[in-house]
Amino acid sequence: MTENRIYALLTDVKEGKIEVSQAIEELKNLPFEDLGYAKIDHHREIRTGYPEVIFCPGKSTSQIRGIITSLLAKNTNIMASRASQEIFDAVKDLASNIEYYSEARTIFIQRTEIKQSKSKILVVSGGTSDIPVAEEAVVTAEKLGCRVEKLYDVGVAGIHRLLANKHLLDEAQVIIAVAGMEGALASVVGGLTDKPVIAVPTSIGYGANFGGLAALLAMLNSCASGIGVVNIDNGFGAGFLAATIIRQIESNSK
């Protein structure tokens, strides 16, 4: 973490291990580091509680390698979202403990301890085809320190499958509902629980689904209260938001 690095720098100066001029040079890069093609926000963890995450699409493999290398030097956990197998193959030599979650398309490198939450997130998917987006939410939340349980393929076409697992809804503190087609799952879940529900529309569906727009609009127009909606296929955003809610729940309970 950046705070730990500042403490270590000041300690090293005090103990004479490094020169003041060396510490000043490193401090210049603590707020952000300008790589030319990217400005790495090293202070984000101080502001938001979580380090910057690399969004891979649109970046070259050399740019992604450069960003990861910069973050590795700061001893912080590193996550890269929407990473293909090709990208992983191009960066996997950068750290011995680098992990790739192919279904979630997420790369993760653990550099610091991940403190586990007591509270639990439940990720629910409408169909099997929605699992890749659901897995992105799962991996994101887990790597941000949350306990996560999964309940997949319980869409409204066979609603008895969801009702048979209502105890899982009751046990969770936050629920992520991932669904395509008409996106009705979020409304049903919202009507069954008093927990906050984060709805994730997916691009899964036939033509009139309009690449997830139908599910997005259905979720935005839900008559069930307590539902927040992220963008189409945004499993990362849902996992991040759920982790933020969990962090607030646990910090307020101390």
Domains with residue ranges and CATH for the chain: 31-109 (no CATH), 120-252 (3.40.50.1970)
Q: Which residues pair with 247 in a beta bridge?
A: none
Residue with tokens 């036939």: 206
Q: DSSP state, 175?
A: E
What local confidence, expressed as pLDDT, does residue 92 receive?
93
- Spatial contact of 202 and 209, defined as CB atoms under 8 Å apart: no
Provide the pairing of β-strand 197-201 with 174-179. parallel
Q: Which one has a higher pLDDT value, 254 or 169?
A: 169
Averaged pLDDT score across all residues of the chain: 88
Residue 41 phi/psi, 5-degree rounding, is: -85, 85
- Residue 55 neighbours by CB under 8 Å, 6+ apart: 80, 81, 82
Percent of the chain's residues with pLDDT above 90 = 61
Angle at 2 between CA 102 and CA 119, to 5 degrees: 55
Q: DSSP state, 207?
A: G
What local confidence, expressed as pLDDT, does residue 36 receive?
67
- Spatial contact of 87 and 60, defined as CB atoms under 8 Å apart: no
Q: Would you state the structure tokens that stand for residue 214, as one six-digit string? A: 């139908």
Provide the pairing of β-strand 120-125 with 106-109. unpaired
- Residue 228 neighbours by CB under 8 Å, 6+ apart: 196, 197, 198, 199, 241
User: What is the rounded distance in angstroms from the CA atom of residue 125 to the CA atom of residue 179?
Assistant: 6
Q: Region 185-197: what's the mean pLDDT?
A: 94
What local confidence, expressed as pLDDT, does residue 81 receive?
95
User: What is the rounded distance in angstroms from the CA atom of residue 189 to the CA atom of residue 224?
Assistant: 8
Q: Is 146 helix (H, G, I), strand (E, B) or coil?
A: coil
- Spatial contact of 127 and 204, defined as CB atoms under 8 Å apart: yes
Q: Which one has a higher pLDDT value, 20 or 48?
A: 20
What local confidence, expressed as pLDDT, does residue 52 receive?
80
Number of H helices, E strands in the chain: 11, 11
pLDDT band, very low/low/confident/very high, at 19 (cuts 50, 70, 90): confident
User: What is the rounded distance in angstroms from the CA atom of residue 228 to the CA atom of residue 244?
Assistant: 14
Q: Region 51-77: what's the mean pLDDT?
A: 88
